Amino acid sequence: MRALRDVAIVGVSTTEQTRRSEGRHGLSYALEALKMALDDAGLAKRDIQGLYPMMDGWPLAGPGQLGGNYRSTNWAHQLGIPIRWFTGAVNSGGGTGVSAILDAAAAIGAGYIDTAAIVLGFASSNPSDPRTASWTSQPFQFNEWTGTYTAAQFALAARRHMHAYGTTREQLARVSSTIRNYGHVNPDAVMYGRGPYSVQDVLDAPMVADPLSRLMCAQVNDGGAAMVITSLERARDLKKPAVRVLGGADQVCYPAYAELPLLEHPLGGAFSRDWVDDGFAMSGLTREDVDVVQLYDGFASWIVMQWETLGFCEVGEGGAFVESGVMELGGRYPTCTDGGCHSFSHMGAPALLRPIEAVRQLRGEVRDDCPGSSKGEHTYDPARCRAARDPQVALAVSMGPPTGGGNLALLARD
């Protein structure tokens, strides 16, 4: 039996992230992002053998006209190439985040395919109900008849965490001000130039669902993104520095957004965190080896809980952990350095954006307000800079149940 091949990320892209699509479809964003990622890698679409796509519908196709099989398999027809590997792990933005990276790495490592692309595009940020995005309220169990929605569900979990462990609103606000201030100096962020934000600014923002203010929640916008993955051997012959996929892990415990994000397993006892340790062990790394972290920041409280779930601090210590400044540019783990879902982009399925930012940090391709950022020169002044200092290893997390599971990928410079 042949040995598994090492795998690397060789191309990444994000289109303009905007609240004004001006008639564009998600397909348009997806195709633009895919072309940009292939150009970034120095590859062509004929090189793609595996595909992990997600978008908000094919143009001119009304509701119910095209089933799920068409929505998936039409990609081969659309691109004009055969697709040999087409799976869909669902714990990460419909299979377009860390779950897809790990699946693609397994397929490439085993030799089933040589190159895979992950691509997404969304242009549906203007919902019929302007108070909230359509995906935040789902017709499951208690959700529909009570009128609850995602922010309210996370607020309940946040309040429980505050009650059980003494977590404060000020600590949640520290999370959001830190992430939003990264976006403030990111020219590609939807919220570029909209700061800087103090902790008090976040606390004083209009309340969405107590204890979560508006500035503690993700925004909604349109855009696309893509990533290209191939074998490390091939990656070393391409035009950009290879970013190795060292390992990772994925765990699902319950359907997020449909069931409440509980702090303990509904059948009793704590949720398993063994999957996180397994991911680090596979990678041959410890948490101390990590230089920059990209978490999924749908809500400030989710960040606090992710630090605990990932084992960077003990359960109940997440509030004090973030309050220490660990997420800031001069902190131990600069976090969500593009502005995250809070400020950079949340187009409905932004799971791929966190790994893309991890790759850009490792490559030294970080745009910000530093005069020399286009040349890779940075001041490391948080008032204008968002680049981590010479990062070698990055941890990227996509979406998943905010307490019982999730996923992670450990990436490193070659």
**9-60 confidence digits (pLDDT tens):** 999 999 999 988 888 888 899 999 999 999 999 999 999 999 999 888 777 6
pLDDT at 68: 55
Quick check: 67 pLDDT over 60?
Answer: no
- Count of CB atoms within 10 A of residue 205's CB? 17
Phi and psi based region of residue 319 (left: phi greater than 0; alpha: psi -120 to 50; beta: remaining): alpha
Averaged pLDDT score across all residues of the chain: 89
Q: 347 or 362: whose pLDDT is higher? A: 362
pLDDT at 390: 96
- Count of CB atoms within 10 A of residue 163's CB? 10
> How many Å from the N-terminal Cα to the C-terminal Cα in the chain?
26
| Confidence bin at 135 (pLDDT 50/70/90) | low
d(CA 51, CA 239): 22
d(CA 152, CA 208): 8
CB 157 within 8 A of CB 318: no
d(CA 222, CA 414): 33
* pTM of structure: 0.94
DSSP 14: E
d(CA 28, CA 121): 7
Q: Tokens standing for 356? A: 């893309």
Quick check: 194 pLDDT over 90?
Answer: yes
- Count of CB atoms within 10 A of residue 274's CB? 10
* Domain spans, the chain: 7-126+220-413
pLDDT tens column, 104-132: 999 999 999 999 999 999 887 655 555 66
Quick check: 265 pLDDT over 60?
Answer: yes
Q: Tokens standing for 97? A: 């985040």
Three-class secondary structure of residue 357 per DSSP: helix
* H or E element that contains 249: strand 243-251
pLDDT at 198: 98
Q: 54 or 71: whose pLDDT is higher? A: 54
What Å distances lie between residue 199 and 141, 156, 173, 291, 394, CA to CA?
A: 36, 22, 5, 25, 27
DSSP 317: -
Long-range residue pairs from 180-183, CB within 8 A, at least 24 positions apart, any chain = 180/215, 180/339, 180/342, 180/343, 181/382, 182/329, 182/336, 182/337, 182/338, 182/339, 182/340, 182/343, 182/344, 182/386, 183/338, 183/339, 183/340, 183/342, 183/343, 183/344
d(CA 149, CA 140): 11
d(CA 97, CA 352): 4
Sheet holding 292-294, edge to edge: 50-55, 115-122, 223-231, 7-14, 243-251, 406-413, 393-396, 292-294
Three-class secondary structure of residue 68 per DSSP: helix
pLDDT at 132: 63
How many residues does this entry show for the chain?
414
CB 121 within 8 A of CB 224: yes
Quick check: 140 pLDDT over 70?
Answer: no
Q: Which CATH number fits domain 7-126+220-413: 3.40.50.1220, 3.40.50.720, 3.40.47.10, 3.30.460.80?
A: 3.40.47.10
